[in-house]
Amino acid sequence: SDFLAIDGEFSGISDGPSVSALTNGFDTPEERYQKLKKHSMDFLLFQFGLCTFKYDHTEEKYIMKSFNFYIFPKPFNRSSPDVKFVCQSSSIDFLANQGFDFNKVFRNGIPYLNQEEERQLREQYDEKRSQANGVGSLSYISPNATKCPVTIPEDQKKFIEKVVEQIEDLLKNEENESLELEPCTGGLKYELLRKERYIAISKVNEEERKRREQQKQAKEQEELNDAVGFSRVVHAIANSGKLVIGHNMLLDVMHTIHQFYCPLPDVSNLLSLIHQNIFEDLAKWTFFHFNLFSSYFVSRLLDTKLMASTQPFKEIINNTSLAELEKRLKEVPFSPPKVESAEGFPSYDTASEQLHEAGYDAYITGLCFISMANFLGSFLSPPKNHVSARSKLIEPFFNKLFLMRVMDIPYLNLEGPDLQPKRDHVLHVTFPKEWKTSDLYQLFSAFGNIQVSWIDDTSAFVSLSQPEQVQIAVNTSRYAESYRIQTYAEYVEKKHEEKQAKRKCTEDSWKEMERKRLKTQCTPYVSQSRYYCVNSFTGTSTVGKRSMSPIQEETGSDDMEEEEGQDPEYDQTESCAEPLPDGKKRAKKFKKIKTEQVPAGKHNVHVQGFLFCLELP
C-alpha cells in the first residue's frame, strides 16, 4: 500500500478528576504526556481499525482495504499475565450507543503480548524444549515441583504396583508396541478432574521420536505466534516504513506503545540512563520522547487533525473534528477523493455514518488525508490532481502529533525540540477553593478580555490580552490575602527550583547551579524563529497583532471530547499554527549537532548539548 490509516477505540479515556485538569490550555508537551500516561493507560485499546490505501495510476483512484480488529488480553495459560483493565462507564455507554459489539471483544478478541511477555513465553518454551531433549539436569522433575516426593498411601499401593508391572512387561516384550493403562480408581485425587481419561504408553524408535519432536516444535511455534497475536500486526505496521495516518492520534500512539511494546516509561526515568545534569529539562524531554517514539515506530506518522489545523488548511477549515472534517473536505476548494474497496473487502458508506467503529474512522481519516494532500497539489505549477504519500509536499506534517486544547503549542514534535511559546501575557493565580470562574472574571475585570485555564481547585492560569498588563496585575495583588498572582515565568522558575531541590546535592548538581546562575545573567537572545507561534483568545477585540489565523476548536468532538460526552460548553478557544518548515528530513538517528535557541519568556530554556538531525534550511 501507499499509506495506512489507523484508529483505536478504548474502554475509557481518563480516570483523572476532570477533563479541564487533564487538558490545561497551558500544558507543556511533557506535562501532557505525563498526564495521559498517568490517567489514560489503565484503559484497554480494544478495537483497532486499520485501512490500507493503494493508488491505482491507470484507474486514477485509490484501492482500500479496511480491517476491524477486536482485541482482548485472553490469558494464554496458567502462568500468563492476568491483565486488569479499567472501564469508564461514560465511554462504554457512548460506544454502546454506537452499537459497539462488546461480545466480539470479550468472546472473540485477538490476544496480544508485549515485548517482555513475549520474551518470557519464549524462554518458557526454550526451557521446556531443552528439558525434553535431556539437556537440563532436571528433566525428570516437573519444573514447578515444590512438593517433596509423595508417599504412596496404603490403599493405592496395589494399583501402582500393577502399573509398574505392566510397564516392565511392555519394555521386556518386543512384540508389544503400546499399552493403555486403565483409568485411575477411587482414592486417587485427580479422579474427579480426569474422569474418562487414561494414560497410553507406546514404544517409538529414534526416527519416530524425532518426527514427533519436530511436530511438537512446530505446534509450539504456532501457539507462540497465536499468543503474540495482534502485537505481530502492530509490529508490522510500525516497521513497514509506510506513512501511518491518524486523526488526533497522540492517545492512539501512546496506547499502542503501552499495550503492544512496553509500559510507557516515565520522563524522570531518563535520569537513570543519562546523568541528570547534562540536560536542561526541555532537552531531556526532547531526548526522551524522540527515543520513545522512534524506537518503536520506523514508520512516519501524520496527524490529520494537526494537518487540518495548519496552513494552508486552517484558513478554510472551521471544524477539525473527524466527522465534520470529512464533510468539509468533499466541498470546494477540495474535491472528494476517488476511493474504492478492494474485491472481497467490505465497503463503507460515508453517507450512513458508522462513526466510532475503528475501521470506519480509520477509513475516513484516510479520505481526509487524500483530499488535503491533493489540495496541496493545486499550488504547484502546473497543478497536480494527485499528490502521493511520498510527496515532498506533505513532509512538513510528518511526526507532529496534535496537542488537544493546548492554546499555543499545536503539536508534540516527535523529531526535535517542542515549540516554546512566549507566555508573557499569562498569570498563575492561586485562590481559595470556593472560587469559581466568575470570581476570576471579577478580579480581572479591569483588564478587559481574559481567558481562564483551570489547573486544580485552587489555581488557574489567567491570560490577559496585553502582556503590558501582566506587571500591573502582579503589583496590585501584592497585598491581597486570599489570592496570589505570579507571572508565568515566575511560576515555571519556582517549579523548576522545586524539582532541583528534590535532587540530591551532589557535586555535579552544584556545578550545574553555578552554571545556571551565570547564564541567567546574560541577556536572552530572541530569534525570529519560524517555529514560534503566539496565541489569541476568543473575542473580537483581541484579533490583530497577536492572532495569526485562528482555527476553531470543534464542539464536543474527537476522541476525548466526544467520547467522554462531557464538557460541551468548554470555551471554544482559538489556537493557531504557523506553516511548518518544509523539506525537513526525518531524523533517523540521534546525532550531536548545533545548538539552537528558541525564544521563551523571561525564563529562557536553551536546547543544548545533544540535538537532532533536524535540518533547518
Cα(410)–Cα(36) distance, integer angstroms: 17
Site for its own copies (CB under 8 A): which residue of 105, 110, 282, 426? Answer: 105
Q: Judged by CB under 8 A, does residue 372 bind its own copies?
A: no
Give buried/exposed letters for 549-582 (b at 16+ CB in 10 A, else e).
ebbbbbeebbbbbbbbebeeeeeebbbbbbebee
Per DSSP, the residues of 138-198 read TTTS-TT--SPPPPPPHHHHHHHHHHHHHHHHHHH-SS--EEEPPPP-TT-GGGTTTTT--
Q: Judged by CB under 8 A, does residue 72 bind its own copies?
A: yes
Handedness of CA 399, 400, 404, 406 (dihedral sign): positive
One symbol per residue from 24 to 63: x for binding its own copies (CB under 8 A), - otherwise; what is it? --------------------x-------------------
Q: Judged by CB under 8 A, does residue 295 bind its own copies?
A: no
Q: Judged by CB under 8 A, does residue 540 bind its own copies?
A: yes
Site for its own copies (CB under 8 A): which residue of 57, 58, 89, 522? Answer: 89
One symbol per residue from 7 to 26: x for binding its own copies (CB under 8 A), - otherwise; what is it? ----xx--x-----------
**Least distance (Å) from its own copies to the CB of residue 47?**
14
**Closest listed residue to residue 463, CA positions, set 547, 568, 553, 558:** 547
**Closest listed residue to residue 125, CA positions, set 226, 209, 204:** 226
Three-class DSSP category at 275: coil
Give buried/exposed letters for 40-57 (b at 16+ CB in 10 A, else e).
bbebbbbbbbbbbbebee
Q: Judged by CB under 8 A, does residue 441 bind its own copies?
A: yes
Q: Which of residues 550-609 bind its own copies (CB under 8 A)?
A: 555-556, 564-566, 568, 572
Q: Judged by CB under 8 A, does residue 404 bind its own copies?
A: no
**Least distance (Å) from its own copies to the CB of residue 162?**
22
Return the CA Rg of the chain.
31
Q: Judged by CB under 8 A, does residue 192 bind its own copies?
A: yes
Torsion region of 399: left, alpha or beta (phi above 0 gives left; psi -120 to 50 gives alpha):
left
For cell 487533525, the residue is: 305
Site for its own copies (CB under 8 A): which residue of 58, 134, 137, 145? Answer: 145
**Least distance (Å) from its own copies to the CB of residue 569?**
9
For cell 511559546, the residue is: 421
**Least distance (Å) from its own copies to the CB of residue 555?**
6
Q: Which is nearer to its own copies, 84 or 172 (CB)?
A: 84
Judged by CB under 8 A, how many residues of this single chain contact its own copies? 52
Q: Judged by CB under 8 A, does residue 102 bind its own copies?
A: yes
Site for its own copies (CB under 8 A): which residue of 106, 379, 510, 590? Answer: 106
Give the range of 96-104, 115-123, 290-298, 411-419 binding its own copies by CB under 8 A. Answer: 96-104
| Cell numbers given for 563 | 467520547
What DSSP character marks residue 110? B
Three-class DSSP category at 9: strand
Site for its own copies (CB under 8 A): which residue of 74, 129, 232, 338? Answer: 74
Give the range of 47-55, 130-138, 417-425, 431-439 binding its own copies by CB under 8 A. Answer: 431-439
Per DSSP, the residues of 215-274 read HHHHHHHHHHHHHHBHHHHHHHHHHS-SEEEESS-HHHHHHHHHHHT-PPPPGGGHHHHS
In this structure, which amino acid lies at residue 71? I
**Closest listed residue to residue 49, CA positions, set 10, 87, 14, 85:** 10
**Least distance (Å) from its own copies to the CB of residue 143?**
12
Q: Judged by CB under 8 A, does residue 355 bind its own copies?
A: no
CA within 13 Å, CB half, 528: 0
Q: Judged by CB under 8 A, does residue 332 bind its own copies?
A: no
Q: Which is nearer to its own copies, 252 or 564 (CB)?
A: 564
Q: Judged by CB under 8 A, does residue 185 bind its own copies?
A: no
**Least distance (Å) from its own copies to the CB of residue 216?**
24
Cα(548)–Cα(74) distance, integer angstroms: 51
**Least distance (Å) from its own copies to the CB of residue 567?**
9
Give the range of 1-9, 143-151, 221-229, 405-413 binding its own copies by CB under 8 A. Answer: 143-151
Give the range of 59-67, 84-92, 122-130, 584-592 binding its own copies by CB under 8 A. Answer: 84-92
Site for its own copies (CB under 8 A): which residue of 107, 211, 330, 503? Answer: 107
Cα(247)–Cα(307) distance, integer angstroms: 9
What DSSP character marks residue 417? P
What DSSP character marks residue 365? H
Site for its own copies (CB under 8 A): which residue of 148, 150, 200, 351? Answer: 148
Give the range of 81-89, 226-234, 393-401, 408-416 binding its own copies by CB under 8 A. Answer: 81-89
Q: Which residues bind its own copies (CB under 8 A)?
A: 11-12, 15, 44, 72-75, 78, 82-90, 92-93, 95-96, 100-103, 105-107, 145-148, 153, 189, 192-193, 319, 436-438, 441-442, 445, 540, 555-556, 564-566, 568, 572
